[in-house]
Amino acid sequence: MYAVVEIAGQQFKVEKDQQIFVHRLEGEEGANLDFDKVLLIEDGKKIKVGTPLVAGAKVSAKIISHLKGDKVIVFKKKRRKGYKTKNGHRQFLTKISIENIITK
């Protein structure tokens, strides 16, 4: 059984007991979350597609930790002009574990 759910503006295909990294969410470590923006649910043989959301469906998850992603280097240069700049960026992430997928 899997579901496609929208979390923090992005769509994820999730299954039970799966751990995923999403953009930073509000909440303490160990807190439980419910996501009700479920776009699709597949349970063995049947597929329910929402228009745009599946009615009565939700995905419950638990926050494992808050962390920062790998550093991304942004380097810009214009040849023969003497222009170059270098920036770095680390995205704030939240690691969550999918506890349950609930349908009605």
> What confidence tier does 44 reach under pLDDT thresholds 50, 70, 90?
confident
Considering only CA atoms, which of 79, 78, 39 is closest in space to residue 59? 39
Residue 4: its pLDDT value, please?
Answer: 97
Residue 30: its pLDDT value, please?
Answer: 96
| Nearest-angstrom CA–CA distance, 22 and 86 | 26
Q: What is the pLDDT of residues 3-41, one digit of tens each?
A: 999 999 999 999 999 999 999 999 999 999 999 999 999
Q: What is the pLDDT of residues 77-89, one digit of tens each?
A: 999 999 999 999 9
Distances (CA, A) of 20 to 14, 29, 44, 83, 99: 8, 15, 22, 39, 12
Q: What letter would DSSP give residue 37?
A: -
Domain boundaries, the chain: 2-102
Total-model pTM: 0.84
Q: Are 32 and 61 in contact (CB under 8 A)?
A: yes
Which of helix, strand or coil describes residue 15?
A: strand
